[in-house]
Structure 1
Amino acid sequence: MRFALVLKKACDTCQLVGPLVKGLQARNELVVYSQDDPFFPADAEVIDDSDLERSWRWRIETVPTLILFDDAGSESRRLVGWDKAEWEDVTGSSFSENMPTFRPGCGSRTQDPGMPEKLTSKFDAYAVSAREISLGEGEDEMEACFDRGWSDGLPLIPPTRERVLRMLSGSSRQADEVVGLIPPDLVSCTIEKIAINAVMAGCKPEYMPVVIATVEAALQEEFCMHGLLATTYFSSPLIIVNGPVSRRISMNSKGNTFGQGNRANATIGRALQLVVR
C-alpha cells in the first residue's frame, strides 16, 4: 500500500504522530510532507511542502492527514487528525497503549486567512480568465484605475487575482457563466466580470449573490437598461433588497437608508453602476 502523510510542526497532534513516522516508513510506502519544517519529524524522510502546493492540490484542510492510495494511484481513504483504531486499521500497525485513542487535528496552513485564494492564484493558471494588466514599477494602483477609465469618479479597490478569487468564493456559480449582455455594446457579462467589478466597488464576498441578482434584474428586457444608459434625463437604478439576505449582510433598511455609513448599501449599487459603465 502507498500512503502520504501531511503534517506541520506547529501542531500538537502532529507532534503526537511524529515519533511514529519512522516506523511507518519502514513498514509501508509512506511519503511525508511537512508544511512548515522540512526536518520534522526528526529521523524521517520528509518532503518540504512549505510552498503548500501539494497540500493545496490534495485539498488538505486539517493536519495531520493520512491518505491511502490504491494501486492505480487514486485516493481510496483519508484519515484526518488522530484516531488510533483507524490508523491501526489502515496501516496494519499496532501502537503503544500509552497513545491516546483520539486527538483532533489542527488547521492546515492552506486555511490561513487569505491563503486559499493566494494558493489558487499561484497554482491554478485558469482560475481567472480575465485579461491581466501589469503596472509599471512605481505606478500607483489607485491612479492607474483612474487613468484607465475604470472609475466612477471615486477611488477603486484594485482587482487583483487574489481579491477576485476571494469574491468568487461568495457564490457557488461558475466564473465563466454568462448572465446576460451589457448594453449598449451588448458585451457578455460573466460571473467573473461581476466579481471583478464587485471588488472595485468595495463589496464583501458575501454580497455576491445580491450583486449577481441585481445585475440579472437590470438586464431584464422589461427594465430597459439601454434606455436608462442612453437617456439625457437624470435617472439611476434603484435596488430594493428583501428577505433574510438583507439582514445576513447587514444592509441598512431603517434610518438614513439612502445616506452614508453602510458598506452593503453603498457598494452593491456601486457594483451595478461599474458593471454597466
Structure 2
Amino acid sequence: MGTRALPNLRSPLPSPPPPAPSPLRNDRWRISPFPSSTRPPRRLPPISCAVRFRPCIDIHKGKVKQIVGSTLRDSTEDASLITNFESDKSPEEFASLYKQDGLTGGHVIMLGADAASQSAARQALRAYPGGLQVGGGINSENAMSYLEEGASHVIVTSYVFSDGQMDLERLKHLVHMIGKQRLILDLSCRNKKGKYAIVTDRWQKFSDVFLNEQTLEFLATYADEFLVHGVDVEGKRLGIDEELVALLGYYSPIHLFVESLILETVS
C-alpha cells in the first residue's frame, strides 16, 4: 500500500469554494411544516426553539425497561409484550445518577399498577426530590402523595380522558387540588384517519379528542407542560413522527415533551 503525502502545515490551505446558495434561504418567505394548501391562515411570529436532554425511567413490575408501549395490555399475561431493554440497575440508582449529572425535568413512568412499580417509583422520587415528574395511574386520590414524595409534577392521561371523552370536571378538580404549575397532561396519540387522536389505557383506547390548534390552546390553560408520544412509532426504532412533531411545534403554546424531543420556547 502506498503512502500519502501529508500537507505542508506551514503553507496556507486553499480557501474552500463558497457554498452554493440554498433554496431554503429566502428573505421573502420561510419554511412551514405544512403544505401551502393546508397552511394555517394566521401568521405566527417566528419561534426560537431549544432542544435539551431529559431522562426517562420507565418502570415495569419494579424493573427499568424500554418497552414497545403499544404492546402493553391490562391483562397480567406478558405473551404479547415486546421489551427492547431491561436494566439490572434500580430506578433509584438511575434517579441518583441523574441528580449527580444535574439533569432536570425527566420523568418516571409506571407501566402498570402493581405494587412493585409504585414502590420503585417512590424510591426514585425520594432519591431526586424536585428533579423528576411521575406518571402512570395518577388520579385525584394519589397525586398529592407523589408530590409529597418529591415529584416536581404529576403526569395524567386516563384520569382526565375517560371512556373516550375528556372529563373537564376531573381536570378542573385536579388543577384546584395541586395547581396548574404541578400538572402535565399526557396527550399521547395515534393516527386515526389522518388526524391524531389522544389514546388512553395503555394506549389501547381511542378518545374522541384530536390534537389541533383549538385543543392545545384550551388544554394549555390547565397544564404546565404536555407530554406526547407518537404511539405508532414509539419504541419501534422508527425515528420520530415528523408530521406530529411539526403540528405540535407549530400550535402548542406551552412547553412539551415529544417522544425523545423537548420543544420549548426561548425568550
Higher relative contact order (Cα pairs below 8 Å, separated by 6+ residues): 2
- Say which structure is richer in strand: 2
Q: TM-score, normalised by structure 2?
A: 0.22
Q: Which has the larger Rg?
A: 1
Alignment TM-score, normalising by the size of structure 1: 0.21
